[in-house]
A and B are shown apart, each in its own frame.
Chain A
Amino acid sequence: MAAVSGLMWRPLRQVSGLLKRRFHRTAPVALQVTVRDAINQGMDEELERDEKVFLLGEEVAQYDGAYKVSRGLWKKYGDKRIIDTPISEMGFAGIAVGAAMAGLRPICEFMTFNFSMQAIDQVINSAAKTYYMSGGLQSVPIVFRGPNGASAGVAAQHSQCFAAWYGHCPGLKVVSPWNSEDAKGLIKSAIRDNNPVVMLENELMYGVPFEFPPEAQSKDFLVPIGKAKIERQGTHITVVSHSRPVGHCLEAAAVLSKEGVECEVINMRTIRPMDMETIEASVMKTNHLVTVEGGWPQFGVGAEICARIMEGPAFNFLDAPAVRVTGADVPMPYAKILEDNSIPQVKDIIFAIKKTLNI
């Protein structure tokens, strides 16, 4: 009897379970992906999608990437598409630009952007300006990527932020992801873009996991270049940032929220072309502005934002002068106490916000 009822009940239970599943909307499992893996995924998907895409740089192939960002790609795609270069930045950046001119879609990795200074002529004069100089005849679909800005204890020659330098130049697009979603979406957009794109990553963010929304798991997930994201809505003050400092701004916002100050935190995502609309709309709402960046203050990203705010409609909505939080105006020192005080910390952001709000 029990055996027969078991034969009857089990299938019934299974069927009812299936029916239940159809009518239940189960939440997809929250996926945690590090920034490193997000960039890796983005490159992998684009390499698979278009055989004209290839990656070159120092240690990108057999070493799996100096920071392991290109892990597994050489094994999957081989020598033709993942190319280890000698230590010749000017040479291989120029080779990448030439390949792009001739119809390929290279990703040129600089081990850090500090080394891109050796190659900066190829980035600016050969890549950025060519479409314009040729009257629209010659496009350069290339991506330059790599870690930018301060790391930890790597001292002055390995810690410079190039956002302002590259952001200065017409003809270039410059993106600066903060989290994994940014990183994957932006690298994919950059690779698909027919223009030279500089992607400024951050070494300290590579290992940080973030929740990956379901749409980011799609092979066609793109984050548009030129559009900022409001990471946190707020009413009292607009805090604009890019790259790792976005996280610090959110921490500062959390602390201030307990004191009743609601910060609107904007993640720029793109340095050039800058999304001034989003920033202006926010400032017109909150009447206060603080910019936060890792780079040096003089002629920096924050300086540009402030200048444009002055020149635009949002100026009349400011109740206090806009203020910048930046890296200290020194070459990056080595000793920990000095280094810690050479980059914007959460307390520095909170202080600037409170000063601006006069509290």
Chain B
Amino acid sequence: MKNMPAALVSRVLRRIAQKSARRVPVASCNYSNDATFEIKECDLYLLEEGPPVTTVLTREEGLKYYRMMLTVRRMELKADQLYKQKFIRGFCHLCDGQEACCVGIEAGIKPSDHVITSYRAHGTCYTRGISVRSILAELTGRRGGCAKGKGGSMHMYTKNFYGGNGIVGAQGPLGAGIALACKYKGNDEICLTLYGDGAANQGQIAEAFNMAALWKLPCVFICENNLYGMGTSNERAAASTDYYKRGNFIPGLKVDGMDVLCVREATKFAGDYCRSGKGPIVMELQTYRYHGHSMSDPGMSYRTREEIQDIRSKRDPITLLQDRMVNSKLTTVEELKEIGAEVRKEIDDAAQFATTDPEPHLEELGHHIYSSDPSFEVRGANPWIKFKSIS
């Protein structure tokens, strides 16, 4: 029984090997079904115990996480390219380097849970279910974009995903409110409210902490600490850089945000905590962004090239997972390369769509002002220009 998938895989591989003379014929591979890994212990605050320090990764899960992280990585790099080619305008905040966060979080929750994040949202948009096509087309402002071109980079939404928020920290109270709705409805759902190390200093985050704790809202507050709030490092912005302790009376965990398995386990732990009715919890994900704050920031004036290179070579989330999986025979380099080729094709197709899909009809300029209302007229740039507004 155990050999069946292995035999299947080896058959496929042999067929591929026959197709391409360049490929080294692979002898029949025995893939492991799963492997156990040690993960970094989380620092705890106001907690007696934390997430486990070992976890089991199945082959299926591993391949899924790898594919997802690689897709996010390539999608962000493609966005970089499209921005430089002027297909994308305005703000574009990329999250390459932080893939383990969005993928690890998704791996630790259910689709029926709720997520809200900041403007550095493209990765989370994808993990929450928006296709690369719809994301890139929204970035290029086309009618095939997930918000029909009306929102852009910072305003993408889907079921149980509330954006993409342009105002730093505003998503804090919003997420607590979504958690309130979960508690109100009594449906065992939780809300994960993500914010950055910069946003952690917003007053409204403290207000959200207070009310979430007071009312025991099932909210996991997640600080994605990528060490810099725009051009300002942690130490220059925060009197206390222990972001996982900043909830004061709320328990917290400090998590290795470059390890997708660590993030997954911490998320599961935090989710269980909330679901048991104990109230909110704070998670700090220690992560890193390779790009600058946005496409208008080269990201070199406040940090060194060496620092970026160092992290890329030692802590890259995709490389980390890849090495783990290959070394424990969950996969091979060749199989991962195939996945890479598929991902490349998906991104290229999406980019092709995003650069050729037409812009929205001008008539749609006035649409979606109000929900569920009869149509009415919206004023344009002068009194003679009128747009019809449809809900």
Residues of A within 8 Å of B176, CB to CB, are: 91, 94-95, 98
CB of B210 within 8 A of CB of A102, answer no
B181 engages A90 (CB within 8 Å): no
Q: Does B292 contact A (CB under 8 A)?
A: no
A194 x B174 contact (CB < 8 A): no
Which of A68-76, A132-140, A145-153, A330-338 is near enough to bind chain B? A132-140
Cross-interface CB contact of A102 among B146, B148, B178, B211, cutoff 8 Å: B178
A195 interface residue (CB < 8 Å to B): yes
B383 & A97 in contact (Cβ 8 Å cutoff):
no
Residue from the list A80, A83, A126 in contact with B174, Cβ < 8 A: A126
**Which residues from chain A contact B376 at a C-beta distance below 8 Å?**
273
Please state if A136 and B208 are interface contacts (CB–CB under 8 Å): no
Complex alpha-carbon distance, A93 and B150, angstroms:
25
Tell me which residues across on chain B come within 8 A of A131, comparing CB atoms.
Answer: 368-371
Complex contact B368–A95 (CB within 8 A)? no
Whether the pair B170, A122 counts as a contact (CB closer than 8 A) is yes
Residue among A86, A99, A173, A311 having the largest count of chain B Cβ atoms under 10 Å = A99
In the assembled complex, the CB of B276 is this many whole angstroms from the nearest CB of chain A, namely 19
> Could you tell me if A125 and B166 are in contact, using CB atoms closer than 8 angstroms?
yes
- The answer to whether A185 has its CB under 8 Å from any CB of chain B is no
Does B232 sit at the interface, judged by CB under 8 A?
A: no
A132 pairs with B170, CB closer than 8 A:
no
- Pick the interface stretch among B10-18, B157-165, B264-272: B157-165
Given contacts A92-B211, A98-B181, A104-B184, contact A135 B174 (CB under 8 A): no
**Residue among B163, B175, B369 with the most chain A CB within 10 A?**
B369
**How many residues on the A side are at the interface (Cβ–Cβ under 8 A)?**
45
CB distance from A43 to the nearest CB of B (A): 17
Find chain B residues with CB under 8 A from A193 CB.
Answer: 372
Interface string of A128-167 (1 = CB under 8 A from B): 0011111111110100000000000000000000000000
Residues of B contacting A132 in the complex (Cβ-Cβ under 8 angstroms): 150, 368-369
Interface residues of A in 179-222 (CB under 8 A from B): 193-195
Interface set, chain B 197-236, CB cutoff 8 A to A: 203-204, 207-208, 210-211, 214-215
Give the Cβ gap from A222 to chain B, nearest Cβ, in Å.
14
The reply to whether B184 and A135 contact each other, CB–CB distance below 8 Å, is no
**In the complex with contacts A91-B173, A121-B167, A131-B368, A98-B211 CB distance below 8 A:** no
A85 contacts chain B at the CB level, 8 A cutoff = yes
The answer to whether A138 touches B162 (Cβ under 8 A) is: yes
Across the interface, B157 reaches (CB within 8 A) one of A88, A94, A103, A137, namely: A137
Q: Which chain B residues border A141 with CB–CB below 8 Å?
A: 371
Cβ B207 vs Cβ A90 within 8 A:
yes
- Is B151 in contact with A135, judged by CB distance below 8 angstroms? yes
When the two chains form the complex, which single residue of B178, B207, B211, B370 contacts A101, counting CB atoms closer than 8 Å? B178
Known: A88-B211, A126-B165, A133-B151. A94 touches B370 (CB 8 A): no
Q: In the complex, what residue of chain B is closest to A141 when comparing beta carbons?
A: B371
A171 within 8 A of B: yes
Contacts of B166 in A (CB 8 A): 125
Q: Is A54 an interface residue (CB 8 A)?
A: yes
- A249 sits at the interface (CB 8 A): no
Partner of A95, one of B148, B180, B373: B180
Question: In the complex, A121→B165 CA distance in Å?
Answer: 12
B177 CB to closest chain A CB (Å) equals 2
- Enumerate chain B residues within 8 angstroms of A103, measured Cβ to Cβ: 181, 185
Q: Does B336 have its Cβ within 8 Å of any Cβ on chain A?
A: no
B147–A139 contact, CB under 8 A?
no
In the bound complex, do residue B158 and residue A122 qualify as a contact, i.e. CB atoms below 8 Å apart? no
Binary contact readout A100-119 vs B (1 if CB under 8 angstroms, 0 otherwise): 11111000000000000000
The bracket for how many chain B residues form the interface is: 35 or more
Nearest-neighbor residue (CB-CB) of B180 within chain A: A99
| Contact between A92 and B173, CB atoms less than 8 A apart | yes
Using known A-B contacts A91-B210, A194-B372, A195-B371, determine if residue A101 contacts B148 with beta carbons closer than 8 Å.
no
Of A104, A121, A138, A171, chain B has the most CB atoms within 10 Å of the CB of: A138
A148 to chain B, nearest CB (A): 22
Asked if B208 contacts A135 (CB within 8 A), the reply is no
Distance in angstroms between the alpha carbons of A91 and B204 in the assembled complex: 5
- Decide: B177 and A125 in contact? CB cutoff 8 A: no
Distance of A95 from chain B, by nearest CB (Å): 4
Chain B neighbourhood of A54, CB < 8 A: 184
Tell me, yes or no, whether A96 is within 8 Å of chain B by CB. Answer: yes
Q: Which of B181, B372, B383 contacts A99 (CB 8 A)?
A: B181
| One of B114, B203, B215, B368 near A90 (C-beta < 8 A) | B203
CB distance from B180 to the nearest CB of A (A): 5
Complex CA gap A193/B373 in Å reads 9
Q: Which residue of A lies closest to B189 (CB)?
A: A102
A251–B378 alpha-carbon span in the complex (Å): 36
| Least distance between B386 CB and chain A CB atoms (Å) | 12
The closest CB in chain A to the CB of B179 belongs to A98
Q: A90 touching B162 by the CB < 8 A rule?
A: no
Q: How far is the CA of A96 from the CA of B211 in the complex (A)?
A: 12
Could you tell me if B378 and A170 are in contact, using CB atoms closer than 8 angstroms? yes
Interface centre among B179, B184, B367 (most CB of A within 10 A): B184
**Complex: A92 Cα to B210 Cα, angstroms:** 10
| A134/B214 contact (C-beta < 8 A), A90-B204, A194-B372 known | no
Contact status A101-B162, CB under 8 Å:
yes
Chain A residue contacts of B146, Cβ below 8 A: 135, 137
Whether A86 contacts B214 in the complex (CB less than 8 A), given A134-B151, A136-B371, comes out as yes
* B247 interface hit (Cβ, 8 Å): no
The answer to whether the Cβ of B149 comes within 8 Å of any Cβ in the partner chain is yes
Residues of the A chain whose Cβ atoms lie less than 8 Å from the Cβ of B368: 131-132, 134-136
Return chain B residues, CB-CB under 8 Å to A95: 173-174, 176-177, 180, 208, 211
B147 touches A137 (CB 8 A): yes
From the candidates B155, B172, B208, B370, name the one contacting A195 in the complex (CB within 8 A): B370
Complex CA–CA separation, A311 to B106 (angstroms): 54
Determine whether the beta carbon of A94 is less than 8 Å from that of B173: yes
The answer to whether B182 has its CB under 8 Å from any CB of chain A is yes
Of the candidates B177, B215, B378, which one forms a contact with A94 in the assembled complex, judged by CB atoms under 8 Å apart? Answer: B177
In the complex, whether B391 has a CB less than 8 A from a CB of chain A is: yes
Q: Can you list the 4 inter-chain pairs with the closest CB atoms, starting with the nearest?
A: A98-B177, A94-B173, A91-B207, A135-B148
Extra inter-chain contacts (12) besides given A98-B177, A99-B180, CB under 8 Å:
A54-B184, A88-B207, A93-B173, A94-B177, A99-B178, A101-B177, A125-B170, A131-B370, A133-B147, A135-B145, A138-B157, A195-B371
A residues whose Cβ falls under 8 Å from a Cβ of B: 54, 80, 83, 85-86, 88, 90-104, 121-122, 125-126, 130-139, 141, 170-171, 173, 193-195, 273, 311-312
17 A-B pairs with C-beta separation under 8 A? A94-B208, A95-B174, A98-B181, A99-B177, A99-B180, A102-B177, A102-B182, A102-B191, A122-B173, A125-B166, A125-B170, A126-B170, A133-B151, A134-B147, A135-B149, A135-B150, A194-B373
